[in-house]
């Protein structure tokens, strides 16, 4: 439908046909009135009918200092419930290491929930273990790929189930007290995520159901596309079956295909799409709703709410894939389509937390549908404060990636993947000194396929780019003579979080490997003897003196600059929010005060990175440091303009040609 850029069967719409839901058993056995439950047609909160008017916002995509602001805006839109995914890879960055809980910033999910309650909202939790969500590997931690005996994710594979159970149980320990049964805001928990569009391993989903039941005393639900096969694969006995996408088709499919009374209950559209995520690419526009789409959203809201059914807007506020957090879609033509750092989504509340025209219009629709008493309780939206403009900050080169100390350096006969080297994200450099007696010339193949974007250098001079986002990546021919240094710098553009099951024979969730997998060959000759250097770059390198001051001969280069910002007009740091742009840049990453804002790429549509004021040091005498890693500094040199970053008060989305685009012959 609206997601014309993504062709996925589960978003297909079906025709409406009326039929009534069958009675369902209530999932709670308590004799007293349960805090939250449901009957055949209604959710019941403390015994009274409750229509969920929800919206999705994931706390881990929003600076925690801004959670109260965003939640206040969600409530002021007329919504009463927040739906949230939790990203396993951020909660358990290493096997057995828990990065959540009290005081953990954006991983403090319990705090997010209590703030939601203070804002007058309830919460629906979507903990995964797999969440899709346009996130790195659908939220899976990269270390899962290295667990001995783990063969299949999203299945009852004992090794996978053990790790998933441990994660869900640990998360529940943080969140148990937020349940509505304990006076908190948490109403329901989702089992897996759109599982039916992936598989039909009911042993697996039943096991997850049982883990959640052992940890929570509130209802569970599944969420699947509104077609027969997704509902068949994804629904779980004893768990409320919820649909997503177009509500007419979805509700009808629920009526047609779910016959097990233990899965029946009120109708909820668990993901109503407003609007869609952005992909990198010269022909990929930024998604922003037009007037027809906005009118359609309003009609669908009326359709759902007038019938006393429930809905959740996906997303009400998208936020940002900070750092290396984005995932990728595996397209039918075997192309990896990475999502942008921005997860603006064209949503009612934009990436920077400002309300949009869509917000105003849907708020009007929702308020018009609320009973008078509830309408009167909806607060006035807080005003949008302006973004800051930041004058150009001149950047100076300070380190070459080639000379930066890696987190792991290994001498290996054949390349090992990023994961085998204990690295999850970022860049990895493979170096080979050619020692053949006669020169070698031919086409370079970086293992079985590019994973994902391979910059190829001979003696530190870039000779080509092999880019997996193209259906036919460039062919790179290299010539090596004895003593030449061949370097492959490989960027993980984001592991696949979703692929169309029908169109691809390979299960791409089982192939998350980055770096080089397999042998590197030149003209069919295998090269042995490599040094791998891991650069996860969670934080940029500290000063490492430039060995060769001729920028452009250095390979990927770190630049830095400093700036100060004046005290904002109030204590609200949102006045310092800006959109950081690298006007002369081709591709790279940006850090401010050590915080990784994400990736930039000239191809667009994203041309600037959201810089939240929360990470800035305020005051004219305070120094803020910006670091830019430019992967192609030779392009900067060729442009003969200063290398700067600029903060934009008004964001611009645009697409530009890719200087590394493969030649069309
Ligand atoms: C929706 O609920 C209200 C309040 O309980 C009721 O008056 C109305 O008839 C219901 N509408 C439908 C279509 O069921
Ligand atoms: C994609 O790859 C699969 C094998 O993994 C192959 O069967 C299929 O033909 C490929 N599709 C295209 C369009 O290249
Ligand atoms: C570094 O790489 C080696 C392989 O050469 C691997 O065995 C080791 O676990 C890695 N170190 C870390 C800290 O991950
Ligand atoms: C060339 O390098 C390979 C792999 O490191 C090594 O096995 C071989 O002995 C080297 N040959 C010479 C002539 O140095
Ligand atoms: C710097 O790089 C250039 C080009 O690769 C090279 O000609 C020059 O010798 C290098 N200078 C030093 C000091 O290494
Ligand atoms: C900034 O530093 C200068 C020089 O030390 C000082 O005169 C001035 O008062 C300081 N300004 C603020 C706002 O602290």
Beta bridge partners of 48: 45
CA 621 to ligand 6: nearest atom? 1
pLDDT value of residue 640: 86
pLDDT value of residue 9: 31
Question: Residue 8 above 90 pLDDT?
Answer: no
Supply the residue whose CA is at minimum distance from atom 14 of ligand 3.
Answer: 422
pLDDT value of residue 302: 98
Asked if 528 and 640 sit in the same domain, the reply is no
Q: Does residue 271 have an active-site annotation?
A: yes
pLDDT value of residue 30: 52
Asked if 277 and 365 sit in the same domain, the reply is yes
Q: Of the residues 271, 419, 491, 630, which is catalytic?
A: 271
Question: Residue 96 above 80 pLDDT?
Answer: yes
Residue 32 within any structural domain of the chain: yes
User: Which of 535, 558, 576 is the last residue in one of the domains?
Assistant: 535
Closest listed ligand to the CA of 302: 1
Cβ–Cβ under 8 Å, residues 449 and 442: no
Asked if 307 and 190 sit in the same domain, the reply is yes
Q: In what order do the strands lie in the sheet with 461-467?
A: 408-412, 530-535, 427-433, 485-491, 453-458, 461-467
Asked if 546 and 529 sit in the same domain, the reply is no
- 482: domain CATH number is 2.60.120.260
Question: Residue 29 above 60 pLDDT?
Answer: no
pLDDT tens profile 375-409: 999 999 999 999 999 999 999 999 999 989 999 99
pLDDT value of residue 554: 73
Residue 656 within any structural domain of the chain: no
Question: Residue 44 above 90 pLDDT?
Answer: yes
- Centre a 10 Å sphere on the Cβ of residue 368 and count the other Cβ atoms it contains: 13
Asked if 41 and 123 sit in the same domain, the reply is yes
Question: Residue 334 above 90 pLDDT?
Answer: no
3-state helix/strand/coil string of 109-165: HHHHHHHHHHCCCEEEEECCCCCCCCEHHHHCCHHHHHCCCCCCCCCCCHHHHHHHH
- 66: domain CATH number is 3.20.20.80
Taking residues 620-629, report their average pLDDT. 97
Residue 549 Cβ < 6 Å to ligand 5: no
Torsion angle in degrees (nearest 10) through CA of 499, 503, 508, 509: 50
Helix (H) or strand (E) holding 243: strand 240-244
Asked if 529 and 584 sit in the same domain, the reply is no
Taking residues 614-642, report their average pLDDT. 94
Question: Residue 348 above 50 pLDDT?
Answer: yes
Q: Does residue 194 have an active-site annotation?
A: yes
Residue 575 within any structural domain of the chain: yes
Number of structural domains (the chain) is: 3
Residue 308 CA, ligand 1 centroid: distance in Å: 6
Question: Residue 6 above 80 pLDDT?
Answer: no
Taking residues 636-663, report their average pLDDT. 94
Question: Residue 650 above 70 pLDDT?
Answer: yes
Residue 449 banded pLDDT, cuts 50, 70, 90? very high
Asked if 151 and 212 sit in the same domain, the reply is yes
Task: For ligand 3, pick from 97, 407, 410, 534 the residue to mutate: most ligand atoms within 8 Å of CB.
Answer: 410
Question: Residue 265 above 60 pLDDT?
Answer: yes
Two tokens at 45?
């909160």
Taking residues 534-547, report their average pLDDT. 86
Residue 553 Cβ < 6 Å to ligand 5: yes
Asked if 478 and 575 sit in the same domain, the reply is no
The b/e string for 235-270 (b: 16+ C-beta within 10 A; e otherwise) is bbeebbbbbbbbbbbbbbbbbebbeeebbbbbbbbb
Bigger pLDDT: 60 vs 25: 60
User: Which of 519, 535, 551 is the last residue in one of the domains?
Assistant: 535
Residue 429 within any structural domain of the chain: yes
Asked if 83 and 147 sit in the same domain, the reply is yes
Asked if 358 and 439 sit in the same domain, the reply is no
Asked if 492 and 589 sit in the same domain, the reply is no
pLDDT tens profile 585-608: 999 999 999 999 999 999 999 999
Q: Which domain holds residue 472?
A: 408-535
Supply the residue whose CA is at minimum distance from atom 7 of ligand 1.
Answer: 308
User: Which of 495, 520, 535 is the last residue in one of the domains?
Assistant: 535
pLDDT tens profile 499-526: 876 666 789 999 999 999 999 999 999 9
- Mean pLDDT of the residues in the chain: 93
Residue 317 CA, ligand 3 centroid: distance in Å: 39
pLDDT value of residue 5: 33
Two tokens at 128?
């995964």
Q: 618, exposed or middle or buried, with CB in 10 Å at 0-12, 13-18, 19+?
A: middle
Two tokens at 382?
């807080």
Residue 496 within any structural domain of the chain: yes
Q: Name the nearest CA neighbour of 635 among 555, 559, 545, 562.
A: 555
Residue 662 within any structural domain of the chain: no
Taking residues 26-30, report their average pLDDT. 45
Residue 654 within any structural domain of the chain: no
Residue 256 CA, ligand 1 centroid: distance in Å: 23
pLDDT value of residue 549: 60
SS3 call for 79:
coil
Question: Residue 543 above 90 pLDDT?
Answer: no
Taking residues 327-349, report their average pLDDT. 95
Closest listed ligand to the CA of 419: 3
pLDDT tens profile 413-431: 999 999 999 999 999 999 9
Residue 503 CA, ligand 2 centroid: distance in Å: 8
Residue 623 Cβ < 6 Å to ligand 1: no
Asked if 555 and 600 sit in the same domain, the reply is yes
Give the binding-site residues of ligand 3, using a 6 Å CB cut-off. 408, 410, 412, 421-422
Q: Of the residues 92, 194, 419, 491, which is catalytic?
A: 194
Taking residues 430-456, report their average pLDDT. 97
Residue 69 within any structural domain of the chain: yes
pLDDT value of residue 504: 66
Residue 316 banded pLDDT, cuts 50, 70, 90? very high
């Amino acid at each position: 439908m609206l997601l014309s850029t993504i062709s996925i069967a589960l978003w297909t719409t079906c025709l409406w046909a009326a039929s009534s839901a069958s009675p369902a058993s209530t999932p709670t056995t308590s004799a007293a009135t349960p805090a939250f439950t449901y009957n055949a047609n209604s959710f019941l909160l403390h015994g009274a009918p409750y229509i969920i008017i929800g919206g999705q916002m994931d706390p881990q995509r929003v600076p925690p200092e801004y959670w109260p602001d965003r939640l206040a805006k969600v409530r002021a839109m007329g919504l009463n419930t927040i739906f949230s995914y939790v990203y396993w890879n951020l909660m358990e960055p290493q096997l057995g290491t828990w990065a959540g809980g009290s005081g953990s910033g954006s991983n403090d999910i319990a705090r997010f929930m209590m703030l939601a309650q203070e804002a007058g909202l309830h919460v629906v939790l979507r903990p995964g273990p797999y969440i899709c969500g346009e996130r790195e590997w659908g939220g899976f931690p990269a270390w899962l790929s290295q667990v001995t005996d783990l063969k299949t994710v999203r299945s009852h594979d004992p090794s996978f189930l053990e790790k998933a159970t441990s994660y869900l149980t640990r998360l529940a320990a943080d969140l148990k007290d937020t349940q509505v049964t304990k006076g908190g805001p948490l109403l329901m928990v989702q089992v897996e995520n759109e599982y039916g569009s992936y598989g039909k391993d009911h042993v697996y989903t039943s096991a997850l159901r049982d883990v959640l039941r052992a940890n929570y005393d509130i209802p569970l639900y599944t969420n699947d596309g509104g077609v027969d096969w997704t509902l068949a694969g994804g629904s779980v006995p004893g768990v409320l079956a919820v649909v997503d996408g177009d509500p007419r088709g979805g509700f009808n499919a629920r009526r047609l295909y779910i016959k097990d009374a233990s899965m029946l209950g009120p109708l909820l559209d668990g993901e109503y799409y407003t609007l869609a995520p952005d992909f990198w690419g010269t022909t990929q526009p930024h998604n922003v709703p037009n007037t027809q789409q906005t009118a359609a959203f309003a009609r669908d809201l009326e359709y759902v709410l007038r019938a006393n059914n429930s809905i959740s807007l996906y997303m009400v506020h998208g936020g940002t894939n900070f750092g290396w957090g984005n995932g990728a879609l595996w397209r039918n033509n075997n192309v990896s389509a990475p999502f942008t750092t921005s997860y603006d989504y064209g949503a009612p509340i934009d990436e920077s937390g400002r309300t949009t025209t869509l917000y105003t219009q849907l708020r009007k629709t929702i308020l018009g549908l609320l009973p008078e008493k509830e309408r009167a309780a909806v607060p006035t939206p807080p005003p949008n404060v302006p973004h800051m403009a930041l004058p150009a900050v001149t950047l100076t080169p300070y380190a070459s990636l080639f000379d930066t100390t890696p987190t792991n350096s290994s001498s290996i006969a054949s390349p090992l993947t990023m994961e085998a080297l204990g690295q999850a994200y970022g860049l990895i450099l493979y170096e080979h000194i050619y020692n053949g007696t006669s020169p070698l010339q031919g086409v370079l193949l970086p293992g079985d396929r590019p994973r994902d974007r391979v910059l190829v250098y001979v003696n530190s001079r870039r000779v080509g780019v092999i880019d997996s986002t193209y259906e036919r990546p460039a062919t790179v021919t290299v010539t090596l003579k004895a003593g030449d240094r061949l370097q492959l710098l490989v960027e993980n553009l984001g592991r696949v979080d979703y692929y169309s099951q029908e169109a691809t024979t390979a299960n791409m969730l089982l192939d998350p490997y980055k770096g080089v997998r397999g042998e590197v060959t030149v003209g069919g000759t295998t090269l042995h003897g490599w040094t791998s250097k891991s650069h996860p770059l969670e934080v940029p390198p500290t000063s490492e003196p430039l060995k060769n001051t001729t920028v452009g001969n250095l390979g990927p280069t770190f630049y830095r600059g400093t700036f100060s910002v004046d005290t904002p007009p109030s204590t609200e740091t949102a006045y310092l929010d800006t959109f950081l742009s690298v006007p002369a840049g081709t591709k790279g990453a940006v850090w401010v005060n050590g915080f990784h804002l994400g990736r930039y790429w000239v191809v667009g549509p994203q041309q600037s990175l959201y810089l939240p004021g929360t990470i800035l040091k305020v005051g004219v005498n305070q120094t803020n440091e910006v670091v830019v890693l430019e992967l192609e500094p030779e392009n900067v040199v060729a442009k003969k303009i200063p290398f700067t970053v600029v903060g934009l008060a008004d964001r611009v989305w645009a697409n530009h040609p890719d200087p590394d685009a493969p030649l069309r012959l």
